[in-house]
A and B are shown apart, each in its own frame.
Chain A
Amino acid sequence: MTATTPSVDAAVSRAPDGLPLTITAAATALRDGTLTAVDLLAAVTARADRLDGVLGTYITRTDDSAWAAATRADEELADGIDKGLLHGIPLGVKDIIATADAPSTAQSLILRPEFSDGADAIVVQRLRAAGAVLTGKVTTMEYAIGMPDPSKGFPTPRNPFSLDHWTGGSSSGTGNGVAAGLFLGGLGTDTGGSVRLPAAWCGISGMKQTFGRVPKSGCVPLGFSYDNIGPMTRSARDAAAMLAVLAGHDESDACSVDRPVEDYVDALTGTMAGLRVGVDLSFLDRPACSPDADAMIRAAIAVFIEAGASVTEIRLPLWDELSLSTLAGSMAEAFAYHRGDMQQRWTDYGRPTRMTVGMGVFATAADFVQSQRVRRVGVRALTEVFSNYDLVLTPSSLTPALELTGMDFDELAESVLTMYWNASGFPAMSIPMGLTTSGLPMGLQIAGRPFEESTVFQTADAFQLRTDHHLAESPVVLGMMA
């Protein structure tokens, strides 16, 4: 079949208020003289001033250092000093990642103020070195786990496409902030899907790269052997640009892997020709599955085929077991970290967090070791799958965003389809695959072989050159900005 001609040009995409929708569009404008970093910061700041009180995106804004960074970026670009695609770009940072210019709270009363010790996490150092403009610390679920809990005084993050719905978590503020244009990209973390779920539910792109690809020093841990810091952006091209800056070994993280970093942006060829793609549609039979999901993923598959990929239906091995391995294993690891504080300050934790991490009490040492043995079996089985396929597709979740009122953890756990890839450590990305009949975004999950993020990005970018789901603007946001 002949591939369709790419037609969606994110490089020129702008919102009605003039804000470039993507990092790529802003980077182009910063270099062709139609935009300055200061003007760009002014535009996202205007959105933050208008929307943050409703969306619950920020915990701390770092306006002073952001203005200084934007001014410096303009001066450098004028002097011919070009630090790359992130130079002068406003980005948000999840509030479990240390920054020198703002406190880190983990959205909790528990975290000790000296956690970050006035220093930037490695990833933050790398973003600043690339000339990025960091606008502040954004909401998370407490300690990157659980669900919204207004009882401790932190903002409740709301979905830009429907304020009665959740963003997904735990990288909630990064998700709704990117989707609503409070910044053009940001850092999330992903232990069981906390980058990919809010990406899916807020209609943006989010990458959980191979475990160990990005150093996580300076990030509050949740599950030591499952945690990843990953980029969240509107487009896959933007996420590739961010990961190119974030990736690379650092000895401060025991899990960091010393392997060369590919040029992820250069790998974006715009085609899927020759790629073998497996798709697991068995999830569509589950009772919790949204009636919209079937048509959305089949439409996405049609785009893959038109773009030159061969697509075959498969069944992923050990789905439930590996997903449980992530849940139980990460809760055991989290409880080891929180045990002392939970003994002393149980009710200072929000209820969703303490009831989730508290389940780690009930996994024995043998259970934890067995979950790690299952991971090894799973990695072996997936290696066999990926000997026949370059990529694997599933929905990112069975449902669009859940309503804030009445939501419970069981309902959430039933919807998410992301934990599997944390057990394996393989890279997996969520990209938008359209809006449901009720106007809520859903995500398509693309997984690849370890350290082959380039292939995932290539495919996601080729998809987004043929669709415009990632450029959808929330009518709610547009209405509030009008």
Chain B
Amino acid sequence: MSPTAEETVTVMLAAAGITVPDDEKAEFVAAYPAFRASLDALYAVPMSHEEEPQLIFSPFV
């Protein structure tokens, strides 16, 4: 069974070491499903399976 938005938000905030007041956590929980859906939509953009990211590593600084 998939975790709820509240469970996911709770775990991800804890993993990041972020503590927020209850009202702000509730705001994150409310916003999370739409944010997650929009991120998922990025995986639906047609592209080569081997497409590179636009940020390219360089061994020089």
Contacts and interface: CB of A to CB of B under 8 A. Distances in A.
A346 B18 CA distance: 8
A355 B24 contact: yes
B54 A372 contact: yes
A29 interface: no
Interface residues of B, number: 31
| Residue among A354, A361, A370, A372 with most chain B CB within 10 A | A361
A321 B38 CA distance: 8
Interface string B5-31: 000110011001111110010011001
Contact of B51 (A254, A371, A376): A376
A451 to B, nearest CB: 17
Interface string B21-53: 100100110011001101101110111000111
Residue of B42, B52, B54 with most partner-chain A CB within 10 A:
B42
Nearest to A347: B21
A375 B51 CA distance: 11
B1 interface: no
Given A355-B27, A370-B42, A372-B55, A377 B47 contact: yes
A145 to B, nearest CB: 15
Interface residues on A, range: 20 to 34
Nearest to A375: B54
**Centre residue among B27, B52, B53 by max chain A CB count within 10 A:** B53
Contacts of A373: 45, 47, 51-54
B35 A362 contact: yes
A325 interface: yes
A347 B28 CA distance: 15
B16 A361 contact: yes
A320 to B, nearest CB: 8
A77 to B, nearest CB: 42
Nearest to B17: A343
A379 B52 CA distance: 12
B17 A339 contact: yes
A313 B53 CA distance: 30
Interface in A334-376: 335, 339, 342-343, 346-347, 351, 354-355, 358-359, 361-363, 367, 369-376
A328 B38 contact: yes
A339 B54 CA distance: 24
Contacts of B45: 318, 321, 373-374, 377
A192 to B, nearest CB: 15
B55 A361 contact: no
A339 B13 CA distance: 11
Contacts of B8: 362
A324 B53 contact: no
B42 A325 contact: yes
A225 interface: yes
Contacts of A324: 38-39, 41-42
A225 B55 contact: yes
A367 B18 contact: no
A335 B12 CA distance: 13
B12 A374 contact: no
Contacts of B54: 225, 372-373, 375-376, 379
Contacts of B18: 339, 342-343, 346, 358, 361
Contacts of B43: 370
Nearest to A251: B61
A321 B41 CA distance: 8
Contacts of A347: 21
Interface string A365-407: 0010111111111010000000000000000000000000000
30 contacts: A225-B54, A321-B45, A324-B38, A328-B38, A335-B16, A342-B18, A346-B20, A351-B24, A354-B24, A358-B20, A358-B24, A358-B28, A359-B28, A359-B31, A362-B9, A362-B28, A362-B32, A363-B39, A367-B42, A370-B43, A371-B39, A372-B53, A372-B54, A373-B47, A373-B52, A375-B53, A376-B51, A376-B53, A377-B47, A377-B51
Interface of B: 8-9, 12-13, 16-21, 24, 27-28, 31-32, 35-36, 38-39, 41-43, 45-47, 51-55, 61
Given A324-B39, A358-B28, A371-B39, 5 more contacts: A254-B61, A339-B16, A343-B18, A373-B54, A376-B54
- Shortest 3 CB-CB distances between A and B: which pairs? A372-B53, A375-B54, A376-B54
